[in-house]
Amino acid sequence: MLANLASVVLSAAILALFVPQVSAQPVPPCANGQAETTPAYGKIGADPAVQVWQDIELSDPAGCLGALAGRSALVIALAGQFDGRVSRDDIVARIGEISATQGLVYWSITDQEWRPLVTEAYGLEAPDSDVARPDFTALELLRGHPLYFMQNDSRSSGPNSYSLTVREMGPDRFVAAITNVTTIRFAFVTLFEPEALVSQHFFDRTAQGTWGYYGISVARSGIGATNTKSFVNRAAAFYRFLIGVAADSEPPLAR
C-alpha cells in the first residue's frame, strides 16, 4: 500500500530516532476530538515517524492509554498513514490473521540481516489452553472480548501466549491492545514477566481521508527491554504487516 521510502526521508527519520526527545511522553489520538499526536503522523508513502522514551512514567489524563499508563523501562511510538480506501473491517481482519504472522521478518541489529521474527503462530481456544483454533474474524474482534493467541519468537524459548482485545470501535476508529500472558524466556533466563509487554494500536481516519496509525509499545521491565533498536525494528515489522507491506521490502528503521 505504501510506496518505497525515499532515501532522504529515511536518513532524516533515522537521525531523528536516536536524538534526545523533547516531548514529555507519547500522545496518541484520543476519542475526544484531539487531532495532534506525538510524534505526528508520518506522510503517506513514507515510513512512520518514530520516538523512543526510556524509564518513563506515562500519565493518562485523557483516559486513552489504558494498560499502557504507569512506569515503563522502554516506550516506543510509531505514527504513520496508509491507504484510506481500505475498510475498517479489512484492517480489523488483518489484525486477526494470527497465522499470517508466521514467517514475519525484521532487521536484526545483532546479526545485521533480515531474520525471522515469528516462527509459529496460531489462535488459542482459551488463555489457559494450548488448543489451536482458526484465525479471528473481524466480527469476533469487534465484539470487544479478549481473544488469545500463541506466537513463537525466534529470540525466545518456547511458545508465548498473548491477549488481543479491541478496546474502542466506531465507523472511522478502533483501538486494539496486545499483552503477553505468559512469561517470556530465553533458555533459563526470564526476559519478560507476564503483562510486561503491552502494545496499543490506534487506527483513525484523518481529515485527508487516509488511515492514521499510531502504535505504542511498552516494556515495563526485564532484561529484554535494553535493546532499543531491536524493539523499533520489531514494531516496524508489525506495522508493515498490518498495512500489507513486506517487512523486508523497505529499509529498516534502525541499524
Domain ranges of the chain: 7-249
Q: What is the pLDDT of residues 202-247, one digit of tens each?
A: 999 999 999 999 999 999 987 767 889 999 999 999 999 999 999 9
Instruction: Compute the average pLDDT of residues 23-42.
Output: 84
Q: What is the pLDDT of residues 109-120, one digit of tens each?
A: 999 999 999 999
90 contact partners, CB below 8 Å, separation of at least 6: 138
Q: What is the pLDDT of residues 89-105, one digit of tens each?
A: 999 999 999 999 999 99
* Residue 42's pLDDT band (cuts 50, 70, 90): very high
234 contact partners, CB below 8 Å, separation of at least 6: 106, 117, 217
Share of the chain above pLDDT 70, in %: 89
Where do the H-state alpha helices sit in the chain? 7-17, 88-96, 138-142, 228-243
Instruction: Return the pLDDT at 37.
Output: 93
Cα–Cα nearest to 218, from 63, 25, 75: 75
Instruction: Return the pLDDT at 128.
Output: 86
d(CA 101, CA 86): 20
Name the fold adopted by 7-249: Alpha-D-Glucose-1,6-Bisphosphate; Chain A, domain 4 (3.30.530)
Instruction: Compute the average pLDDT of residues 24-37.
Output: 81
